[in-house]
Amino acid sequence: MNYLTQIQGHTLWRKGLHSDSVVVDLGANRGAFSKQMISTYGCRSFAFEANPSLAAGIENVSGLTVYNYAVARDDGTIRFCLASNDEESSIAREPAVDSAGLIEVESIHLERFLKNKSIPRIDVLKIDIEGAEIEVLESCSDDFLRNVGQATIEFHDFLGLTPPDAIYRTVNRFHSLGFACIKIWQHAWGDVLFINTAWHTHSMPQILWSKYWTRNLWGAQRVLTRNLSRQKNHSPNKAH
């Protein structure tokens, strides 16, 4: 009775995902999330990656379309901070000591761009854009979000990039649009799933089971794995 699954660290409501599903992957990095979605469900994915070298290196697979754009508040060009760890590059970061530099990249407004591409609905919206998620969501209309089946979002409060008040405001907005919210992490908002209850066949017990039982089970498994790893790393070597 597990209705949730995880793809590359992002939680999804797996009921209703199939070969006709459309995925929009914001912050594709090397394309692992999109490629696993295509491999698992046979769906289509439109992946957006601002880093030119990462976008160019994403493997060309059937069903995957890659766009080398930063998704932002508006169309144009925008400053993009390249981090030494390419998973941390972002339009929302300031250059750090270990940063790889600043570049200018082309930016697009998500809702207008998808409308121009005749993509009217999204089954899965994945957002992992290192602190720019609030800006992007606030630039989208309520009607656009109502045409999203589910959104799996990594907010970056745990890195100090996303203010908690902005997250609460966003969660309340999703609630007002008819989404159920499942927060996976206990102490931060690094893995959050919003399920459009108008789209998905579900019952309140299914939502509650996923929100409390599955989430807490996953949390207990993570703690157990972490503790076992610590014990292994700190155990003294025994002489034989």
pLDDT in tens, 202-211: 666 777 667 6
Which residue, among 125, 195, 182, 186, has the nearest Cα to 157 in the 3D structure?
Answer: 186
Domains of the chain: 4-233 (3.40.50.150)
Query: What is the spatial distance between Cα 18 and Cα 79, in angstroms, rounded to a whole number?
Result: 37
Confidence of residue 94 (pLDDT cuts 50, 70, 90): low
Structure confidence at residue 159 as a pLDDT band (50, 70, 90): confident
CB distance 23 to 46 below 8 Å: yes
**Do residues 148 and 177 touch, judged by C-beta distance below 8 A?**
no
Cβ proximity of 72 and 135 under 8 Å: yes
What's the rounded Cα separation, in Å, for the pair 183 and 170? 13
Position 3 scores a pLDDT of 87
Tokens 């949730």 sit at which residue? 4
Indicate the average pLDDT of the chain. 87
pTM of the entire predicted model: 0.86
Take residue 146 and report the two structure tokens written for it: 């109502």
Between 82 and 152, whose confidence is greater? 152
Contact 128/161 with Cβ under 8 angstroms?
Answer: no
